[in-house]
Structure 1
Amino acid sequence: MRPPPAKVEFQPKSFSPDKLAARWDCSAAHIRDLVARGELPAFRVGRLIRIPAEAVLAVERCVTPPVAPVDHPAPKIVRPPTRGR
């Protein structure tokens, strides 16, 4: 008996603004703005905008997770001594 086939996750070659917005939890308008400003590479298929998967992965690799705040004591304010007048 053969083992079950390995589960292969499908990776699209490109994303529509709607699909990418759902992936990044933002609006499709924001994705289109990023494309219009040249911050996110894209190409057109007729009137449709498509963002290459390689560009999406490159952006996702560059995003750093938020750093948890470190509990530091508040700095003390040291004032210079005053001169008696």
Structure 2
Amino acid sequence: MLHRYKVGQMLDLRSAPRHSNRPTGPYEVISCLPHDRGPVLYRVKSSSEINDRVVEETDLVPGATTKSAVAEGESFFSIAIDRR
């Protein structure tokens, strides 16, 4: 089974079970973990936490943070100019 998401992609983490300290919100994919069987796993990092987390692919969903400027009609050049 292949990984659906790529390193560097920003995704939303679904809400955790009731007794979990895992916050929801945007997370960056740090690495795609190898697997032979079982769920597809990713190492992800939130900007609001110090630690990385390992989560299943089913816990990740594309969200508002995944929209790229190119998809919205801007070019990479105009983004670079705007950030100066």
Same fold flag (TM > 0.5): no
TM-score, normalised to structure 2's length? 0.26
TM-score, normalised to structure 1's length? 0.26
Higher normalized helix content (fraction of residues) = 1
Which of structures 1 and 2 has the bigger CA Rg? 1
